Amino acid sequence: MSERHPSDDAEQLVALLDGELEAGSEAALAERLPDDADLRARLATLDRGGEGVRRAFDLLLDDAPIARLDAILDGAIAATQKPSPTVPARSRPAWGWLRGLLAPAAAALAAGLVGLWLGFAVLGGPAHEEEGGWLAAVASYWALTTPDTLAIAPTPDHLAKGLALASDRLGITLSPAAIALPDADFRGATVFDYDGKPLVQLAYLDADGTPFAYCVIRAAESGSVQPTAGTMGGFNVVHWSAGDGVDRMLIGRVPGAVLERYAALLSERAG
Amino acid sequence: MITSGNEEVRSGLRVHLPALWRFGLVLSRKRETAEELVQATCLRALERADQYQPGTRLDRWLFSILHSIWINDLRARRIRLGEGQVDAETALVFDGAHAIETNILAGQVLARIGRLPDAQRETVLLVYGEGYSYREAADLLGVPIGTIMSRLASARERLAEEGARPGA
């Protein structure tokens, strides 16, 4: 039997904790643990070292200066769309000239965007009963979903027809480009009726295969609602309206932070 | 109609801005540098939008761009300018307003993460913060999987050790 190094053990134990160990190695390790107090102690130490790490990173995400970051992106989009005077790939100092170029645009955009982002508030539920009605209905329906619900990938033809029908019923254009979300797999449009109003559900699987939906409903002429995050029925929810007679929501077990960014993207596209 | 690569990249950037910023902050431990990294990543990703292969993970592509800019440009510049010495003062902390709401333990854990050596810290962020598999982390960082495992083991041991000290 070859010499086992302490570092090999640590690596195996970490892989065990992280679910990255193949079945054979996992079995071998499981066999050693009951009789090896040192090994067990190491496992406990490694486990303890991981405590609170995920949570600390999740909280750090909340620190992100979203308004400034959005303005930075807007500036970059503007800069890369300009008919360019040739821009050097690199110049010294590395970012000084760029900041000077983008600062006025970024500031103006930031001012405009601040209004949009001020509304990110975590609620326990929707603000108004009427507004809450359709959100709760969707959440109830979503409580019925399982991994099987969206397991079968529809054909492109099916997707196109579904979107066309949904667009027709809602009276707004839902093009593939308009509803495409990065790293998410669109699984189809379904038309429902809520209280006499057409309600469209666009279902997706995220990169990890977690289902979520973007739902759109014709609403009475309501005021605009800033993207508002909350939870309903165990799901993360973000709902908003541009005040154009259309209410929108995102729902799923996808992290709320991700839904908020999807909402930002979809709001931006809707103009 | 196929979305142009540029539109996909723009959408990906919009969605991943906070995560990119967090990556930049964990790498550099300076908020100003994190924003520089995001800005540079946005520019490079948009300029190279045609290099993004539709159907592949857009978030992974954006993260690899940011990491490359850090390694090749910003970190190199900091070392050249003599800022490369680990400033004991550059701590990883929640910002003032937020720090009041978050619990003390999370702040301690974050500070400990901030004190990890660069290689361990970036690996911990990718695997435990972003949910990268060992394989994905190895690919992005350009190291063997065994290196990922040993970095994570060392990081966990170090975090556990710091956590065991009173007041740490």
Q: What is the pLDDT of residues B68-112, one digit of tens each?
A: 999 998 887 777 776 655 555 578 989 877 777 768 889 999 999
Chain B contact for A130, CB < 8 A?
no
Provide the pairing of β-strand A197-205 with A122-123: unpaired
Q: Which residue has the tokens 């000290």?
A: B165
Q: Which of residues 131-150 of B touch A (CB under 8 A)?
A: 131, 133-134, 146, 149-150
- Which residues on A lie below 8 Å from B11 (Cβ)? 180-182, 265
Distance from CA of A46 to the nearest CA of B (A): 5
Alpha-carbon distance of A220 to B154, in angstroms, equals: 58
Q: Answer yes or no: do A55 and B134 touch at CB < 8 A.
A: no
Which residues, 6+ apart, have CB-to-CB distance to A85 below 8 Å? none
Q: Which residue has the tokens 């540029």?
A: B6
Chain B contact for A55, CB < 8 A?
yes
When pLDDT is cut at 50, 70 and 90, the band that residue A83 belongs to is low
**Does residue B33 or residue A90 have the better pLDDT?**
B33
Terminal C-alpha separation, chain B? 56
Q: Answer yes or no: do B22 and A177 touch at CB < 8 A.
A: no
Report the DSSP beta bridge partners of residue A200.
A191, A216
Alpha-carbon distance of A183 to A52, in angstroms, equals: 27
Q: Which of residues 10-29 of B touch A (CB under 8 A)?
A: 10-19, 21-22, 25-26
Written as one letter, the residue type at A241 is: S
Q: In what order do the strands lie in the sheet with A122-123?
A: A122-123, A225-232, A235-241, A246-252, A211-218, A197-205, A185-194
Q: Which residue has the tokens 């807007």?
A: A74
Alpha-carbon distance of A253 to A213, in angstroms, equals: 10
Instruction: Work out the mean pLDDT of chain A and round it to a whole number.
Output: 83
Which residues, 6+ apart, have CB-to-CB distance to B59 below 8 Å? A182, A183, A207, B12, B16, B19
Chain A contact for B58, CB < 8 A?
yes
**Does residue B89 or residue B149 have the better pLDDT?**
B149
Q: Answer yes or no: do B15 and A261 touch at CB < 8 A.
A: yes
Classify the C-alpha dihedral A63-A256-A128-A243 as positive or negative.
positive
Q: Of the given ranges (A35-44, A77-86, B3-12), which has the lowest mean pLDDT? A: A77-86
- Which residues on A lie below 8 Å from B39 (Cβ)? 72, 75-76, 95, 98, 102
pTM of this prediction?
0.81
Distance from CA of B105 to the nearest CA of A (A): 8
When pLDDT is cut at 50, 70 and 90, the band that residue A244 belongs to is confident
Average pLDDT over residues A108-137: 49
Residue A150: the pLDDT is 93
Asked if the model's pLDDT at residue A167 lies above 70, the reply is yes
Chain B contact for A53, CB < 8 A?
yes
Burial of B147 (0-12, 13-18, 19+ CB in 10 A): middle
Residue B131 corresponds to which tokens in the numbers above?
């949910």
Written as one letter, the residue type at B41 is: T
Alpha-carbon distance of B116 to A101, in angstroms, equals: 36
Q: Answer yes or no: do B11 and A265 touch at CB < 8 A.
A: yes
Average pLDDT over residues B140-167: 92
Instruction: Please confirm whether the linkage preceding A93 is cis (ω < 30° from 0).
Output: yes
Average pLDDT over residues B24-44: 96
Average pLDDT over residues B124-151: 97
Q: Answer yes or no: do A261 and B16 touch at CB < 8 A.
A: yes
Alpha-carbon distance of A83 to A77, in angstroms, equals: 12
Which whole-number Å values give the CA distances from A222 to A215, B141, B143, in the listed order?
17, 49, 54
**Does residue A8 or residue A220 have the better pLDDT?**
A8
